[in-house]
Amino acid sequence: MSTGVAIVIPVFDDAEALARLLSAIATWQLAPAELVVVAAGEDPVITKLCSSFGCRLIPGRANRGEQLDRGARHTVAPVIWFLHADADPPADGLAAIMAAIEAGADGGCFRFEFQGPRTRTKRLLERFVGLRIRCGGIAYGDQGLFARRDVYVAAGGFRHQPLFEEVSLVRGLRKRRRFRVLEQPLRVATRRWERDGWWRRTWRNRWLALCYACGVPAERLAGSYHRHVSARPSPEP
């Protein structure tokens, strides 16, 4: 059974994560009206995945904001749901979005939760994120942002920049006072927190957000962000 929701997924060297996400979506009771992958660069594995799962593959540059906006503008469904390739969305996510839209929401996101075993640190950081969002803070793309198409366009969509591309969009959605944070959790990959340190990564993210709010260009912050994470060794095999 299909819904009136298009899913847009930006990818850049994310073939393994994309395979897991598309496999999960294929098991859902409800199916998206459209499934669009916007890939930076050419990857034959991603091309094959999109063909196997019936996705529309759109080429793009390695700029997540531009990829997200490009994908949105290649869909026609009345509602658009944006997912990162390494996300673990709830199986009833499409039904939850449609219920929220039918109840009057213009857009929203899912509750932030980390993937993997539950720990005290994870729960504490999840509560921190939840409190920040309830106090009017920005919900970022890893929470599975969604919006009605007309409202997305009216709010200006995603900015074509490599970091904080969702800030102006979320602010535009919140101004309409119909932004909903759904109860269902969307589980976020923990790789970067494990690599950088749970609290170090969290405070680094907050520092970058503060710099952006103070007017530091996203391109400059993205350079700092990538230098910071690449300088630290990864514990992953």
- How do residues 41-69 score in pLDDT, each as one tens digit? 889 999 999 999 999 999 999 899 999 99
Specify the CATH architecture of the domain 5-189: Alpha-Beta Complex (3.90)
Q: Please list the residues that pair with 79 across neighbouring strands.
A: 5, 148
Confidence of residue 109 (pLDDT cuts 50, 70, 90): very high
Nearest CA-CA partner of 82 in 70, 92, 91 = 70
Rg (CA), the chain: 17
**236 pLDDT band (50/70/90 cuts)?**
very low
CB 93 within 8 A of CB 186: yes
From residue 122, how far is each of 71, 94, 116, 189, 190 by CA, in Å? 32, 26, 10, 12, 9
What integer pLDDT is reported at residue 179 of this predicted model?
94
Within 13 A of 190's CA, how many CA atoms are on the CB side? 19
Element (H, E) at 34: strand 34-40
pTM for the model stands at 0.91
Annotated domain spans of the chain: 5-189, 195-237
Among 3, 11, 6, residue whose Cα is nearest residue 149 = 6
Helix (H) or strand (E) holding 228: helix 218-230
Pairwise CA distance, residues 109 & 11, whole Å: 20
